[in-house]
Amino acid sequence: MYCSACGAKNDSDALYCSQDGYPLQKVISSGRLQPDLSIFCSVCGNEKTYHAARYCSICGQSFDIYETVTPQETTFNWQLVKKVLPGWLLSVGLLFLVSQFVFFYVYKLKQIGGYLQLQLPIDQVVRESLNFLDFSLFANLTGVSLLLENEDFAQRISYFSTGLAFMAVIAVIALVPGGYLIKYLHPKVKAWKAAIIFCFGYAALLAVITQFSGVHDVSSTIHYQTSLSFHLLSAIINGLFLGFVFSYAGMGLWEKRHTRVRLSEGERGIRYGIFTVAAAYVLMLFVTIFLNAQYDPGVETDSWSGTTSDQSIYNSMSFVGKMATYVIHLATGNTFILKRPGPAPDTYSFLSEISPEDKSSIGFLIPPDFFASSQIVVMAIMAIFFIIAGNRMAKGQTHLLRLIVIYSLTVAVIMSFFAFYTSMNQVFQSSEGMRRVLGDEPVFIGFRLLRTFIISLLYSSVTAAIGVLVRKIKYMKVG
């Protein structure tokens, strides 16, 4: 028996090709006629003479495939909500459980910020007033506002993001099993519609707990009071995005393991986009762990305060997590930016050298010495990984251009979302007198949103196209 995808010869009783894992046994039954994607005859191994051929020109074997139609849930109704509910409850339970463990761990630490290295100007009293609901919102990248208030002035610091994108790992741990459970209990449910129901419920949950979270009127000292509140709109947007993407990914994991579903170009492109970015983060996490083990930081100085920075941050898990998110963008050609009121922005990229003067400005945030001479190696690893993803995605597909477009858009959207939440955007508002002197200029640390989207779109489309080309060349050699 020959594989109809790659032409490799297999045993007569084999179910899958030994070379590329393509299904060999085609069951002919009543149902609908599927588009013929075969390249080689499964009986004699002969390659098709032209694309629309229905019979083999050598042995006369039919290429037609009749596949039984499997009904799937396609209606938004209460029945669909009931099918989604168990997975949703599992995800919520896991989110609260993991956040509770993180809360207990951080609460026991003496150093402010501690394990998470929270990029928020909170003191001991504020930290001890947080609860596991606050950490659940941090895990979903919910933006916050901090208000310092006394008789003389009020200073409000608004964070459009917390700069803690690595904490989304907690949300992923919770959401993927929920999506998997939905498909496990109801295999015929339509994945994308179930994910929509799921994400609306998840966003509603985050919106509700913002009302019970934060710190209000905490007397940090006798001179001022502190309030910390979570942004409702940020919680809703993040809940919709994270809830859909990762519950959908969980459903895709179930289908990949238990069924052989023929996906449309849209579904295949979205799933490969999600899994490629997630797997790339895991890959860069391991690369960062390796680099961190080799890195021996010198004395770093915080240019904002003029004090020597705490070296323990370079050995913390938060540092490794942050560097992994930075490395993904740097390896795809993006540029790290530090913009403060007054001086010109400082930038760093794998594609350009950084001067010693600029190095001192961003060294504490993203030390260039951390990467040393590994930039090209890291970029090569990332490029090879994305090319392999494009190669695998193209297996058995005919409308490759449409597939690459949808896949690239998915990658670009996800990369841009996490680039925004990898960045820290702050707006300072103070008393009228201080505002006349300092203004309300924002501070930006991270990656530009539009630039990230364009670079990610180009990078994913080019690497996918190279992967497809490699696959075609391979088939030409086999033929």
Structure confidence by residue, pLDDT tens digits, 314-339: 667 778 888 899 999 999 999 998 88
Asked if pLDDT for residue 284 goes beyond 90, the answer is yes
Split at pLDDT 50, 70, 90, the class of 385 is very high
Local structure of 126: helix, strand or coil = helix
Strand arrangement, sheet containing 144-149: 215-218, 225-230, 144-149, 154-159, 424-429, 442-446, 336-339, 346-348
pLDDT band (50, 70, 90) for residue 433:
low
- The mean pLDDT of the chain is 79
Cα distance between residue 59 and residue 66, in whole Å: 20
Q: What mean pLDDT is predicted for residues 21-48?
A: 60
Q: By percentage, how much of the chain surpasses pLDDT 70?
A: 70
Q: pLDDT tens-digit profile of 114-160?
A: 444 555 556 667 777 888 899 899 899 998 888 777 766 667 777 77
Q: Are strands 336-339 and 346-348 parallel, antiparallel or unpaired?
A: antiparallel
User: Token pair for residue 234?
Assistant: 């940020």
Phi-psi region of 148 (alpha: psi -120 to 50; beta: other; left: phi over 0): beta
pLDDT tens digits along 38-64: 677 777 777 776 666 767 777 767 766
Greatest distance between any 2 Cα atoms in the chain = 92
Tokens of 395: 């297996």
**Mean pLDDT, residues 162-167:** 78
Whole-number Å distance between alpha carbons of 249 and 279: 12
Has residue 310 got a pLDDT over 60? Answer: no
User: Among 30-44, 213-227, 287-301, whose mean pLDDT is lowest?
Assistant: 30-44
Tokens of residue 249, six digits: 């990914």
Please give the model's pTM, rounded to 2 decimal places: 0.78
Averaged pLDDT, 178-207 = 94
- The predicted pLDDT at position 27 comes to 43
The answer to whether 316 touches 115, Cβ cutoff 8 Å, is yes
Find the mean pLDDT for residues 242-250. 96
